[in-house]
């Protein structure tokens, strides 16, 4: 199994390797009689003396697996390694099983993957003294779809929501050509139904306008539906950026601050 320091070498942050490696913990959770690995980041100086904000981060198609490592090679985890001082919070990195192993099950985060994510979140809050009232949910691509799904079905669990190049409607995956159902099955207008459910949750949506994998219209429609309801939504469209909108997003200091602290204002920029 690849060790965490090997992943760190890939993201080229040698100055912080030893310190950050010591802040990531491998954990396991059992769901439906099967065991799954996940990772937890606890910031330097963490102790049980206080209650800590929590970020639940859902990987994209490149993070599928069972090693407990691949999901930390993209998105939020590398950003934490580059800028650990920006994240005085716990961060949970579950891993969804590969779609080809899920016979007659929904891939991504709408099926067993979502159960793994919520179980890992619950265990992390208990073990590391996380603050249940300050849980942020974020995801990229397929993880963005999973973030919409989990927020729709468990809106009371999350204080804020950051979705990067996610999708709501039914679609066939690109990296893994499997069917991802609509976030709101059976709804004639899943975007409107999702917006109604999330109207009170501060939400930030990010998408590149040159994305050829997940059309930017998915995020535009979701932002418009939330805006029409007067929801606390922020929409950022990145010019000339393709599917990888996550590197520049998670590297932003204001994004890190927004994930850790409950936002007090809304914007459409």
pTM of the entire predicted model: 0.89
Higher pLDDT, 269 or 49: 49
Query: For a pLDDT cut of 90, what percent of the chain falls above it?
Result: 74
Q: pLDDT digit string (tens) for 210-227?
A: 999 999 999 999 999 999
User: Could you tell me the CATH superfamily of domain 4-260?
Assistant: Alpha/Beta hydrolase fold, catalytic domain (3.40.50.1820)
Burial of residue 197 (number of CB atoms within 10 Å: 0-12, 13-18, 19+): middle
What pLDDT does residue 170 have?
A: 85
**Domain boundaries, given as residue ranges, for the chain:** 4-260
Residue 4 has pLDDT above 80, yes or no: no
Residue 15 has pLDDT above 50, yes or no: no
Residue 202 has pLDDT above 80, yes or no: yes
Helix (H) / strand (E) containing 256: helix 253-260
* Pairing mode of beta strands 24-31, 34-41: antiparallel
């Amino acid at each position: 199994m690849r060790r965490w320091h090997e992943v760190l070498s890939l993201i080229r942050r040698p100055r912080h390797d030893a310190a950050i490696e010591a802040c990531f913990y491998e954990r396991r959770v059992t769901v439906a009689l099967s065991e799954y690995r996940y990772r937890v980041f606890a910031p330097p100086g963490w102790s049980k003396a206080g209650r800590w904000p929590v970020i639940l981060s859902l990987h994209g198609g490149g993070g599928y697996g069972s090693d407990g490592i691949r999901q930390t090679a993209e998105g939020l985890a590398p950003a934490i390694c580059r800028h650990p001082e920006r994240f005085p919070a716990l961060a949970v990195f579950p891993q969804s099983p590969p779609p080809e192993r899920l016979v007659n099950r929904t891939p991504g985060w709408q099926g067993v993957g979502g159960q793994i994510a919520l179980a890992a979140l619950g265990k992390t809050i208990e073990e590391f003294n996380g603050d249940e009232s300050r849980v942020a949910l974020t995801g990229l691509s397929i993880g963005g779809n999973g973030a919409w799904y989990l927020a729709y079905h468990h809106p009371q669990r999350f204080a804020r929501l950051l979705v990067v190049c996610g999708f709501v409607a039914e679609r066939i995956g690109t990296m893994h050509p499997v069917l991802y159902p609509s976030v709101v099955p059976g709804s004639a207008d899943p975007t409107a139904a999702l917006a109604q459910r999330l109207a009170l949750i501060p939400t930030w949506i990010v998408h590149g306008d040159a994305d050829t994998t997940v059309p930017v219209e998915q995020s535009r429609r979701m932002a418009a539906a939330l805006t029409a309801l007067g929801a606390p939504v922020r929409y950022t469209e990145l010019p000339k950026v393709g599917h990888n909108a996550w590197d520049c997003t998670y590297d932003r200091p204001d994004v890190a601050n927004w994930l850790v602290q409950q936002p007090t204002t809304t914007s459409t920029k």
